[in-house]
Chains A and B, each alone.
Chain A
């Protein structure tokens, strides 16, 4: 047999070595071939006189990233899915059943199927390096572990710890994994090899639960209802996200007999794999990779980022850049703003659980710079001052003068066109928009705003910068509201119109939540700030012929601006205390389906309009923008994917119905007629 993806040898200590090296890929993933090869190699190991087996990776990127997702994404037949799952289960069981001690020697990521392989080993050890991440994130792809992971994990970890890991898909560092007994040892990279040999030679007791806990956890069905309740409380809807519920079912009904338990696990995952939710969540994964890829191309070396303006956005951008390891200088004329920004930065670093030397370094790299001395030293300068043209002009002009050669000058404007901002610059083609979303630490998307004649070099550097701070860059043509706000605004305004028609705000928000949006539109408007909403809406009024609901202007007049300050009592559509919404009982509405349709279709129509105007490259970019910038229901795969699921013709009919019944002035985009716009294929 020729082996393509593995290196196999038995060393002088008689220890067998299996080194995964997936041919033609930078990361190790399992496809049929790699699994089959592992299967025959394990037979060879069993036949040999080896006293132990160490499994490791030849890739710098990490250990094993899991199953080959492109493969899983394209599976459309349940039998085929089941076969792939059962094949993996068989191979890993063979590994589990080897008589000699086996060690998974992990450095870098160890995810999903990779973690399941490690769980099938007798011992797991991992290097304490920043890129070491272990976990079972299958749930984020709408499935759950399917190669024996659900069975093996619950055998070695307390029931709730195991379920928590699988239900959240959370990744652990080596130290955390050791603390939770997911692995046997977290050691410095230089000791990894010695420690692997130690486990083979001394064969210490393997991780497993004590008899007492094993007995307690046999009554799993009792815990199952508890877990389901928790899921509901977290707002996980079974209709939209079936995987968590399927996982609870699979684990809690698991049999004592391994064969039967495996069978149940495989069946469950095979079913999930074919659900639209899973396909769409995988699509989200690929979209993320696509955006990431666009930032990787330019080798722009960044050490220092200078942010001008310590307001909510400027402060948050500065804090995030410091957290991502850059030296940051934050400039503002107002010390109170700087103080607030530093406090918030401190909270971010704490929330991210930075400790010891890393925390100290990050803090020392967050530098208050009222004089703006950092501007001349920085590789990236971001302007995030108040949204007024004259203020921004003054700041940008000054910054351009100080800018060092090769550095990028960017603006975080959300409403002023790039063309107007750059008018005062000596080199207007060098100004790029880098538009973050609030809250910066939670919203992965960053819109890169370009004009027709923007310098390609500067754009490339902007992509690289956004990639380096671990955000997702999306190129968008300069146009009012850019992409995400342009699509969100009609949706927010529609929710206010519904309000004026007499529907309760809780039922309006609930309709959006039921669709899978992370926040209801009315609460979102409060969070953004009603004054900001009004300002943007006015910008759009002439450009896009929209109506501004009276309620909005009235509330702004009354100085009820929403919950953006996050302190004390605040009023918007809802009431807030210390930034938290005061709970209001849900008013059920019989019109919920209509409300939902009107809200969502406003977004869909604008999305098509944007595609038609070529604001972004294609439908995939648009979907990515809305998912990562606005949290558009990920289970739908994005607005355009959702249109494709329903069928554009059907959508158009519904739109015309909405226009006819509710809003005669509503303009249905001409883009609906252009079929080519809707292509959302991801696989070549």
Chain B
């Protein structure tokens, strides 16, 4: 008999926009703060967890297997296994899938899973040439040899490699993610204005949801006593004029992707609790059910148009569960770039694309824009790459509950050319 897997809780930290210097929290700090609050609100005790799975793209050098770091810092027993997953921008969603799979396989019943990222703490690295020089210098025996080596030094060798920028580039095509978004915009003729309007709406939808009390996150405090009680990237005062005044950053002269219509570089964590039906019944946790997870889909696509990942990933997901486009009540498409979200929407309406690229008979469906990212998205909030997949899943579960709706799809594009999507259902407390 197939098992049923449910989300029975979740929490995320405030999302903190990078100030171009290391922020107050490491990736595991963020995950711990979200995890502590989640567990304190939940009837689940750390000792009841069968495993901990965490997505993170760039943990710091002292956070090897960051999931195990999290498990131990949350006071899980030593015997609780933990592992880290990395699927670039979808790492947080991959963690949920891995938890889901382990529960289906009967390996685990209760799993803590999510994602975290401290992008502001991405390291500066030495160039290989400098590393080689340092090795030569330390092994040089005579003073003369050392002097010779010193004379060989050139200033350029000291410029660091910025890991963050490398991480946000395609490893093989060597082009930045922003350029892949420009490609998508060109493919579907998406204009700068369309992108800016979408970006503005992201901020506005967030602000509206916040006024309605729909935005839930954990305030965090660093050890200097600095309190973070807002998602610092959100700009309630953003306007079309402001957005229009920004210069394109990836294609300097001819492009249309700007810092304003892209997601932000941000630190944050989102952690969820997944459990199987039997564990929920046995422990009487029914009232804590947020949503049922039906399944995931992962698909590869052209790395130069990686932003279309969701367009590729969603159709097989719905087909597998016998659902139509119109059956989905609410959508979360991660806003890596406005261009890319609008690209996916356009792709699904495009007969030609759907036939040729997706193998469908006709256009997949027309997105009702008032059902997409209703609480705002990564353009407003930021996109801590390892965390976003878990963040949108949690957001979607809350939205379905609040709107008393049924099916929702959360999906995101993945640097390197992939798409990931998951289908959840608000079962309204029923198992």
- B42 CB to nearest chain A CB (Å): 9
Taking A335-B221, A367-B36 as known contacts, 16 extra A-B pairs with beta carbons closer than 8 A to each other, sorted by chain A number, are A327-B75, A335-B219, A335-B229, A338-B227, A342-B221, A342-B222, A342-B223, A342-B225, A343-B224, A346-B224, A346-B225, A360-B73, A370-B219, A373-B40, A374-B40, A377-B40
CB-CB < 8 A to B32: which residues of A? 364
Looking at A327, A329, A367, A374, the one whose CB has the most chain B CB atoms below 10 A away is A367
CA distance A338 to B221 in the complex (A): 8
Interface check B41, CB cutoff 8 A: yes
CB-CB < 8 A to A335: which residues of B? 219, 221, 227, 229
CB-CB < 8 A to B227: which residues of A? 335-336, 338-339
Q: List 15 A-B contacts (CB under 8 A).
A: A327-B75, A339-B225, A339-B226, A342-B222, A342-B223, A343-B223, A343-B225, A363-B223, A364-B32, A364-B74, A364-B75, A367-B36, A367-B40, A370-B219, A373-B41
CB-CB < 8 A to B75: which residues of A? 327, 364
- A316 CB to nearest chain B CB (Å): 14
CA distance A369 to B220 in the complex (A): 11
Interface check A390, CB cutoff 8 A: no
The 6 closest A-B pairs by CB, nearest first: A343-B225, A373-B40, A346-B223, A339-B227, A342-B221, A339-B221
B219–A369 contact, CB under 8 A? no
CB-CB < 8 A to B223: which residues of A? 342-343, 346, 363
Interface check A340, CB cutoff 8 A: yes
Q: Which residue of B lies closest to A373 (CB)?
A: B40
- B76 CB to nearest chain A CB (Å): 12
CA distance A374 to B32 in the complex (A): 16
CB-CB < 8 A to B73: which residues of A? 360, 364
CB-CB < 8 A to B224: which residues of A? 343, 346
CA distance A340 to B222 in the complex (A): 10
Q: Which residue of A lies closest to B220 (CB)?
A: A368
CB-CB < 8 A to A364: which residues of B? 32, 73-75
Interface check A371, CB cutoff 8 A: yes
CB-CB < 8 A to A339: which residues of B? 221, 225-227
What are the interface flags for A349-388 relative to B under an 8 Å C-beta threshold, 1 for contact and 0 otherwise?
A: 0000000000010011001111101100100000000000
CB-CB < 8 A to B229: which residues of A? 335
CA distance A112 to B224 in the complex (A): 40
- B47 CB to nearest chain A CB (Å): 12
CA distance A371 to B36 in the complex (A): 12
CA distance A319 to B303 in the complex (A): 51
CB-CB < 8 A to A363: which residues of B? 223
CB-CB < 8 A to A327: which residues of B? 75
B41–A368 contact, CB under 8 A? no
- A584 CB to nearest chain B CB (Å): 32
CB-CB < 8 A to B221: which residues of A? 335, 338-339, 342, 368
Question: Which A residues have a C-beta under 8 Å from some C-beta of B?
Answer: 327, 329, 335-336, 338-340, 342-344, 346, 360, 363-364, 367-371, 373-374, 377
Near A by CB (< 8 A), chain B positions 64-90 give 73-75
Contact A340 B40, CB 8 Å, known A327-B75, A360-B73, A364-B73: no
What are the interface flags for B370-394 relative to A under an 8 Å C-beta threshold, 1 for contact and 0 otherwise?
A: 0000000000000000000000000
CA distance A338 to B73 in the complex (A): 21
What are the interface flags for B36-54 relative to A under an 8 Å C-beta threshold, 1 for contact and 0 otherwise?
A: 1000110000000000000
CB-CB < 8 A to A329: which residues of B? 40
- A169 CB to nearest chain B CB (Å): 31
CA distance A346 to B29 in the complex (A): 15
What are the interface flags for B167-202 relative to A under an 8 Å C-beta threshold, 1 for contact and 0 otherwise?
A: 000000000000000000000000000000000000
- B153 CB to nearest chain A CB (Å): 35
CB-CB < 8 A to A373: which residues of B? 40-41
CA distance A346 to B24 in the complex (A): 13
CB-CB < 8 A to B226: which residues of A? 339
CB-CB < 8 A to B40: which residues of A? 329, 367, 369, 371, 373-374, 377
- A352 CB to nearest chain B CB (Å): 14
CB-CB < 8 A to A340: which residues of B? 225
CB-CB < 8 A to A370: which residues of B? 219
CA distance A343 to B227 in the complex (A): 10
CB-CB < 8 A to A377: which residues of B? 40
CA distance A343 to B225 in the complex (A): 4
Near A by CB (< 8 A), chain B positions 91-150 give none
Looking at A338, A342, A377, the one whose CB has the most chain B CB atoms below 10 A away is A342
Q: Which residue of A lies closest to B229 (CB)?
A: A335
CB-CB < 8 A to A367: which residues of B? 36, 40
Looking at A327, A371, A373, A377, the one whose CB has the most chain B CB atoms below 10 A away is A373
Q: Which residue of B lies closest to A303 (CB)?
A: B75
CA distance A188 to B288 in the complex (A): 47
- B227 CB to nearest chain A CB (Å): 4
CA distance A360 to B32 in the complex (A): 11
B225–A371 contact, CB under 8 A? no
CA distance A327 to B224 in the complex (A): 20
Q: Which residue of A lies closest to B227 (CB)?
A: A339
Looking at B41, B73, B221, the one whose CB has the most chain A CB atoms below 10 A away is B221
CA distance A374 to B41 in the complex (A): 9
CA distance A313 to B157 in the complex (A): 54
CA distance A271 to B221 in the complex (A): 56
- B213 CB to nearest chain A CB (Å): 16
CB-CB < 8 A to A343: which residues of B? 223-225
CB-CB < 8 A to A371: which residues of B? 40-41
CB-CB < 8 A to A344: which residues of B? 225
CA distance A343 to B75 in the complex (A): 23
Q: Which residue of A lies closest to B36 (CB)?
A: A367
- A524 CB to nearest chain B CB (Å): 27
CA distance A363 to B33 in the complex (A): 11
CA distance A336 to B228 in the complex (A): 10
CA distance A335 to B218 in the complex (A): 12
- A355 CB to nearest chain B CB (Å): 14
Q: Which residue of B lies closest to A376 (CB)?
A: B40
Looking at A327, A329, A368, A377, the one whose CB has the most chain B CB atoms below 10 A away is A368
CA distance A477 to B213 in the complex (A): 49
CA distance A363 to B222 in the complex (A): 11
CA distance A335 to B219 in the complex (A): 9
- A340 CB to nearest chain B CB (Å): 6
- B82 CB to nearest chain A CB (Å): 15
CA distance A329 to B39 in the complex (A): 13
What are the interface flags for B218-246 relative to A under an 8 Å C-beta threshold, 1 for contact and 0 otherwise?
A: 01011111110100000000000000000
- B112 CB to nearest chain A CB (Å): 15
CB-CB < 8 A to B219: which residues of A? 335, 370
CA distance A562 to B224 in the complex (A): 25
CA distance A346 to B225 in the complex (A): 8
What are the interface flags for B290-323 relative to A under an 8 Å C-beta threshold, 1 for contact and 0 otherwise?
A: 0000000000000000000000000000000000
